[in-house]
Structure 1
Amino acid sequence: MHNLPVSMLPMMSTMISGQLEEAKDQYENLLKAQSKPYVLNDEIVERVIKVFSKQLDFICLYENQISKWHNEETLTANIESALPKSQVQLQELSKVITNILALAAKLKNGTIEKVMGKSDLELGMEFFKK
C-alpha cells in the first residue's frame, strides 16, 4: 500500500470496523468449538489461520498509513478526530486476531481428522485425563 490520500480514511475506517466485527464473530465461534474441537476439520482450521494471518499483515500497513496521515498538516477536524478511533480499532483488531490464531493453533490438535486418527486407547486415556 503506497501513500493514499487522506480522503480514503472513511473507506479504510469502514474496512477496519468490518474486519473487527468479523474477527470478533469468528473468535466467538472458535470459543464455542473449544470444548468440542472435533466439530472442526483440518481444512476449516487451516483456512482460519491463513485468512487471519493475512489480516494481521495488513494491520501494519493500515497503521503506517494512518501514521502518515497524522503527520499531514492540512487535516480537517473531522479527519483529525477519526484517526485516533481507527488506531484504537486497529489495536483491538490486532488483539482479537492474535487470540484467534492462538486458539486456532490449539484447536488444530483436536479436529475430526486428528480424533479419527487416534486409537481407542489414546481416546480413552484422554477422556480420563479430564
Structure 2
Amino acid sequence: MTKIMEKQQNWHPISMPPMLSTMISGQLEEAKNQYENLFKAQSKPYVLNDEILERVIKVFSEQLDFICLYENQISKWHDEETLTTKLEADLAKSQSQLQELSTVVPNILALADQLKSGTIEKVMKKSDLELGLEFFNK
C-alpha cells in the first residue's frame, strides 16, 4: 500500500466537484498522451532511459491511488448530499473518466515495465555480439 492510501482520506465539501472534474480530465488527457508516447517508443525503446521510465512508473503508480480516492469522494457525495441534476451529470462524467483512467494507467505501467529492458542504458551494457544477434533475430 502506498503512502497516499496509508493516510486518512480528506473529505471535501460538495462545492468541490468542478475542481475534481478538472483534475480528473487533466489526468486522463495526460495519461492518454503518456500512453501514446510510450506506445510509439515500443519499436525503439533505446530512446528512453531508466530514469524516465522509473519516473513514469512512480507517477502513474501514485495516480492509481488517486483514482480510488476520487471514487470514494464521489460515492460519499452521492450518499450524503442532495444533488442537483447538473451536479449529478458532472459526477457521472467524472466517474466515466475515472473508469477510462482505471484502464489507461495500468496499460501505461505495463508498457513502461516492458520498455525497461530496452532502455539506452541496457543497450549500452550489451556487447557487440549480443547486439548483432538481436538485430538478426528480429
Normalised-by-shorter TM-score class: over 0.9
Residue 65 of structure 2 is aligned to residue 77 of structure 1: no
CA RMSD, 1 decimal: 0.9
User: What is the count of residue pairs matched by the alignment?
Assistant: 130
On the 8 A contact 2:14/2:81 being kept in 1, the answer is no
Distance apart, 1:82 and its partner CA: 1.2
State the TM-score, normalized to the length of structure 2.
0.91
**What 5-or-longer segments of structure 1 have no aligned partner?**
none
Candidates 9, 13, 23, aligned match of 2:31: 23
- Aligned equivalents of 2:10 and 2:57: distance in 1? 26
C-alpha contact (below 8 Å) 2:35/2:104 kept by paired residues: yes
Q: Does 1:4 align with 2:32?
A: no
4+ residue segments displaced more than 4 Å: none
> 1:100 aligned to 2:108?
yes
Q: Distance in 2 between matches of 1:44 and 1:80?
A: 39
Match runs of 1:43-54 below 5 Å: 43-54=51-62
CA distance in 2, matches of 1:73, 1:83: 12
Decide whether the 8 Å contact of 2:61 with 2:109 is kept in 1: yes
Quote the offset at 1:73 in angstroms.
4.1
Shift of 1:74: 1.5
> Any idea what the Cα deviations from partners look like across 1:60-102, whole Å, max 9, x if unmatched?
0000001111112411111111111111100101111111000
SS at match of 1:7: coil
